[in-house]
Chains A and B, each alone.
Chain A
Amino acid sequence: MDGGSILETIGVEIIGVMSPVSICMFLVVLIVYTLSSPSSSDNQQVIRTAANLIYLESSSDTTAQKLEGALLNAVVFVVLITLVTFLLVILYYYRFTNFLKYYIRFSAFFVLGSMGGSIILTLIQHFNIPIDSITFCLLLFNFTILGVISVFSQGVPILLNQMYMVALGIIVAAWFTKLPEWTTWVVLVALALYDLVAVLAPGGPLKMLVELASSRDEELPALVYEARPNVSSRSGSRGPNLGLLLAGFSDGDPIELRVMSSSENVVQNGRVVSEMRSESEEIDDVREVEIEGEMLPLMGSSSSNNERERPVVNEDIRESNESDRARVLEREIEEEEERGRGIKLGLGDFVFYSVLVGRAAMYDLMTVYACYLAIISGLGCTLILLAVCRHALPALPISIALGVIFYFLTRLLMEPFVVGTSTNLLMF
């Protein structure tokens, strides 16, 4: 305990969520950048997805047409997603959990195998990598199957699971960047709004789903990135659950601050109906802080991964903290180790953050960086809110709003300014 500066412990969980999101965005930007830079002309065929069922944008349309078509697309997309989510809730309500799991495994298989394979093939073609088809098929097969296994099963390294989650996010996001420009923006905004409603409004499908899952004390049947519950490197071989176990040993009330956000992100692509490839993506995120037991003081201290959230928590619990002082002291070691469950972030957030950044990458690097900062800070705000509110929160709205605002500000205001000054080699 001594020697370690407090700087090393604060914000571990926030970074634990931010770094995979950053990696995902970075790789998507890299893919988009390498593959779309040489000839980003009109000759690429537009892919029909669930997100542009109604209207196919072409660059010759007027702005009004584009806006109208994009709005229609977004409405249809959101309605589709809502329907699918309700279907999911119904299935989950009637305990078709296994069906859902197999379904998600199948979609993971499809995403990794066909969509991922297609992206990898494009990369191979782009760089002219002389790999033979046998090796390629074998490796792709292994990659896919391992991904399917790692989605829900217990017996894979956590790191592998996280890597596959990020990979799924990258693949889906890379596909989504193929949407036409106007549709992308409108769909992103619409999804953020939908997310807000679905998670927070009473009767929202995701809210229902999360409540259902928490009342059954089950994991959500969805694709969710889960941050590693504790940094095992800090406590050596003794891991995080030890504190939990110990607490169970000592007096049987598990200290558990479960910052459980779950997104359910049933990537349901795969209906290749005639020429129409519909990949509707059902993506949202729900975050839930579930408090079990009455151990508020410990939760306060074990969960305060961020100094900004602390004062609020602090005031909440000051009184009980005083009374429970002895108990807290007794459990100081556990406190050290038990830092709450990992924060869960829906894969949908990964996807749509990356879509935004990927779309920005088609314009300029400057917008990419501005959008990245905006999204990350939005995510940070959401995490702080999560610590304050302690129930499921949508992760898309703040980030997407900030991202879109910053994109247009950068593009419209900053770009001419910066280019104007720095081509004169003026800097400050």
Chain B
Amino acid sequence: MEAAPSNPTHNIISTAPSSVATHRNPLRVDWPTVDGPLGLSEQESVDHARRFFKFGFLLLPWLWAVNCLYFWPVLRRPSSYYHPDLRRYVVRSAIGFTVFAVILSSWALTFSVGGEHLFGHVWDKLVMYNVAEKYGLTGWI
């Protein structure tokens, strides 16, 4: 009980009545995920973040994005707050996703803005609606 103020993970809700506070005290209040208590605990989080981070390299940068969104509190709080591994993975995911997003969006923008002037004949072959037409991918409608 005395240690509580010094330990940031054991925030007591000050407004709660004392009888409730004694119950609530051992419970963690600072959850690492955005879903709070519905989400994962910190132990599970580390494994989870690691897995998502690794799978992100299989051309799945959205997993990195989800990693960042899901562990948003980890990103926001100072680094000593949570498990160091957890934070490392989340921050790396953030970096990975940013790099990916920058590269991909610059390519896509160049492609769509530059158009046929820049790419010439290749553009027609690469642009998606032509490709879809060629292979008959639009079964709908």
Contact = CB atoms under 8 A, between A and B. Distances in A.
Q: Within the complex, are A and B direct neighbours (CB within 8 Å)?
A: yes
Interface of A: 35-36, 44, 47, 115, 117-119, 121-122, 124-125, 128-136, 138, 141-143, 145-146, 149, 154-158, 160, 174-175, 178, 228-229, 232, 237-242, 245-246, 249-250, 333
Interface of B: 13, 16-17, 20, 23-24, 27, 29-31, 33-40, 44, 48, 52, 59-63, 66, 69-70, 104, 107-108, 111-112, 115, 126-129, 131-133, 137-141
A242 to B, nearest CB: 6
A399 B55 CA distance: 42
A359 to B, nearest CB: 15
Contact of A238 (B36, B40, B48): B36
Contacts of B38: 158, 228-229, 232, 239-241
Contacts of B133: 125
B31 A135 contact: no
Contacts of B27: 242, 245-246
A67 B5 CA distance: 74
B138 A118 contact: yes
A125 B140 CA distance: 11
Contacts of A240: 37-38
B115 A130 contact: yes
Contact of B33 (A122, A136, A157): A157
A36 B63 contact: no
B23 A246 contact: yes
Q: Which secondary structure dominates chain B's binding surface?
A: helix
B128 A131 contact: yes
Nearest to B134: A133
A228 B111 CA distance: 41
A135 B44 CA distance: 33
Contacts of B17: 333
Contacts of B104: 135, 138
Contacts, number: 138
A247 to B, nearest CB: 10
Contact of B111 (A121, A132, A146): A132
A178 B69 CA distance: 36
B28 to A, nearest CB: 10
B70 A250 contact: no
Contacts of B70: 155-157
Contact of A132 (B24, B36, B128, B132): B128
B17 to A, nearest CB: 8
A250 to B, nearest CB: 7
A237 B23 CA distance: 17
Given A130-B111, A132-B127, A174 B140 contact: yes
Nearest to B56: A142
B36 A232 contact: yes
A146 B108 contact: no
B52 to A, nearest CB: 7
A122 B138 contact: yes
B23 A238 contact: no
A134 B34 CA distance: 32
Contacts of A142: 59-63
Contact of A136 (B40, B59, B128): B128
Given A178-B140, A250-B23, 11 more contacts: A115-B140, A121-B129, A122-B140, A134-B107, A135-B107, A138-B59, A142-B62, A142-B63, A145-B62, A149-B63, A240-B37
B126 A133 contact: yes
Contacts of B30: 237
Contacts of A119: 140
Q: For the complex of A and B, list the 3 residue pairs with the smallest distance between their C-beta atoms, beginning with the closest.
A: A239-B37, A239-B36, A142-B62
A43 B36 CA distance: 52
Contacts of B35: 157-158, 232, 239
Contacts of B137: 117-118, 121
Contact of B69 (A44, A136, A157, A250): A157
A160 B72 CA distance: 14
B141 A35 contact: yes
B22 to A, nearest CB: 10
Given A238-B36, A245-B27, A155 B69 contact: no
A408 to B, nearest CB: 26
Nearest to B51: A155
Nearest to A117: B137
Contact of B40 (A47, A155, A229, A333): A155
24 contacts: A35-B140, A47-B139, A118-B140, A122-B140, A133-B131, A135-B108, A141-B60, A142-B59, A142-B62, A149-B63, A155-B40, A155-B70, A156-B66, A156-B70, A157-B34, A157-B69, A160-B66, A160-B69, A228-B38, A232-B36, A239-B36, A242-B24, A333-B16, A333-B20
Given A135-B111, A156-B66, A157-B69, A241 B37 contact: yes
B59 A141 contact: yes
B127 A238 contact: no
A175 B140 contact: yes
A228 B27 CA distance: 21
Contacts of A129: 112, 128-129
B119 to A, nearest CB: 9
Contact of B29 (A117, A143, A238): A238
A142 B56 CA distance: 10
